[in-house]
Structure 1
């Protein structure tokens, strides 16, 4: 399914690149799709997946249900687009955190931690839990999860050349970071973790990652 995004090229740039510039109608359509996707994410955060309905999403987006169905034929296509956008948000955040010459471990860990405090993570967590008992949602989510993992890993390899001498340790470090930080976020969200434990846990993770690659500079 195509991602809900608008082109950054101006009509003049598009013409120079040899492509047809987007029409006003196509830009408006892309903006409406993006508005519906963001409304879906907000509804999931506010009410949970089980209580999110297409009329509720349309109202949240300030559109009629008919206008919504013009862009998404049913709730399943809308949820799929929302999951794709949630994945894109995570990939963009990861690229921003890693797009520096000095890959300081503390900065990378804490940047990802901050990302997990945003509503997008709450929405994704809601969807992941709901998929456990909802076969239709699982059919949508699981292949997108595989695609996301492959894209994330491929991007990580390119962004962190300092780990290329030990790919296995790099894979372990990435998995450890993701599992530990997301687990902490869930425990904090549900009250199972004391907020005062966040800082010492982040320090432990940073130290562990540095120990796995002695070439990393300590902040």
Structure 2
């Protein structure tokens, strides 16, 4: 998305007095949130299908089934839309990680690795990877993505520590296990997508990663779960 070509100086009109739901949420606010969600989902689909450079605000509006004017009512320019999309991609990843880790069976090494692998097959990961690669040379995109990525990393690490108390006595090993999983699984996902790795080799690589994590587990007080 060429951010410099999607700026708008449009001034939002004053909102009318909103109707209120019994729970306190206004109908207008709920509708606005739904529309914003449609636009963010459409942005992800466009990035996956067309790549970041070819994802334009008119294309996103068309994908979402909205006029460009309606889109600009919710996002004043392309930069605001991309920032909201990155934030939502991070939130989805945090929610998925939390849901998986809150289930006792997900602390099993094999299940944990397979769950993570399933996550990096989804469009959200493909879209984020497209953005991360583009941010290397796109200064405007980098200015948006890199601070959000740093914030996400801090939140992800804090959440991981809270969700896996059994690793509390081995913080260095836990950090290694998390970084090893992320690097190998995300790297494999990219390699498979780009044809650099035969998908048939994935099961063997997953088993190897699981064994590496089990080796790190020997330093924890528990021996049956991650």
Q: Identify the residue that residue 115 of structure 1 maps to in structure 2.
A: 119
Q: Aligned equivalents of 2:217 and 2:189: distance in 1?
A: 25
Q: Whole-Å Cα distance in 2 between the matches of residues 170 and 80 of structure 1? A: 31
* Counterpart contact for 1:84–1:144, Cα < 8 Å: yes
Answer whether contact 1:97 1:112 (CA < 8 A) is retained: no
**2:17 maps to what in 1?**
none
Q: What corresponds to 1:44 in structure 2?
A: 47
Q: How large is the Cα RMSD of the aligned pairs?
A: 1.5
Report the Cα offset of residue 97 of structure 1: 1.4
Partner of 1:77: 80
Q: Which has the larger displacement, 197-206 or 87-96? A: 87-96
Runs ≥4 residues deviating over 3 A: none
Q: List alignment gaps of at least 5 residues for structure 2.
A: 1-19
**Residue of structure 1 equivalent to 2:159:** 155
TM-score, length of structure 1 as denominator length = 0.90
1:17 corresponds to: none
Structure 1 residue 100, shift from structure 2 partner = 1.7
CA distance in 1, matches of 2:181, 2:223: 16
Deviation, 1:216, is 3.1
Does the CA contact (< 8 Å) of 1:163 and 1:170 recur in 2?
yes
- The equivalent of 2:64 in structure 1 is 61
Kept in 1, the 8 Å contact 2:21–2:27? The answer is no
1:130 to 104, 115, 134: 134
SS at structure 2 position matched to 1:192: coil
Which digits, 9 at most, give the CA deviation of each residue in 1:64-90, with x for residues without a partner?
000000000000000000000111111
Map 1:82-97; keep pairs closer than 5 Å.
Answer: 82-97=85-100
Q: Number of residues paired by the alignment?
A: 203
The equivalent residue for 2:104 is: 101
1:205 and 2:209 matched: yes
Q: Distance in 2 between matches of 1:84 and 1:132?
A: 18
1:217 Cα deviation after fit: 1.5
How far apart, CA to CA, are the structure 2 residues paired with 1:216 and 1:76?
47
What does residue 217 of structure 1 align with? 224
Shift of 1:91: 0.7
Q: Which moved more, 1:101-110 or 1:44-53?
A: 101-110
Secondary structure of 2:59 counterpart: helix
How far apart in 1 are the matches of 2:21 and 2:174? 43
Cα distance in 2 for residues equivalent to 1:177 and 1:171:
10
Match of 2:196 in 1: 192
